[in-house]
Amino acid sequence: MSCYVMQENVVQPNLTVIEAMTFAADLKLDKRKFRFEKCVITDEILNTLRLSASRNTTSEKLSGGEKKMLMIALELVKNPPIIILDEPN
């Protein structure tokens, strides 16, 4: 299944990066996956997108580029084969 990342930054302002990632993992990953497995997946994505340093920052305090990377990270949780980005720059 593919995923779509909108042009507008639509992230929950009161959640930290790791809270948003955990929420996405709980929604998108198999319910039989252990919490540890979900943490490994989210940590790998945050490291890859260079968001690890911002893991405890609320999304309202992220820069525009960091918000865009978070939106992409939230979609990568499901490991889609195709990602459609609307105005990625």
pTM: 0.86
Residues in the chain: 89
Rounded CA gap, 75 and 25, in Å? 10
Rounded CA gap, 15 and 17, in Å? 6
Greater confidence (37 vs 8) lies with 37
Q: Which sequence spans correspond to the domains of the chain?
A: 32-80
At 10 the pLDDT is: 78
At 89 the pLDDT is: 66
Rounded CA gap, 11 and 66, in Å? 11
Greater confidence (11 vs 17) lies with 17
Secondary structure E strands in the chain: 3-5, 83-85
pLDDT in tens, 23-77: 999 988 887 878 889 889 999 999 999 999 999 999 999 998 899 999 999 999 9
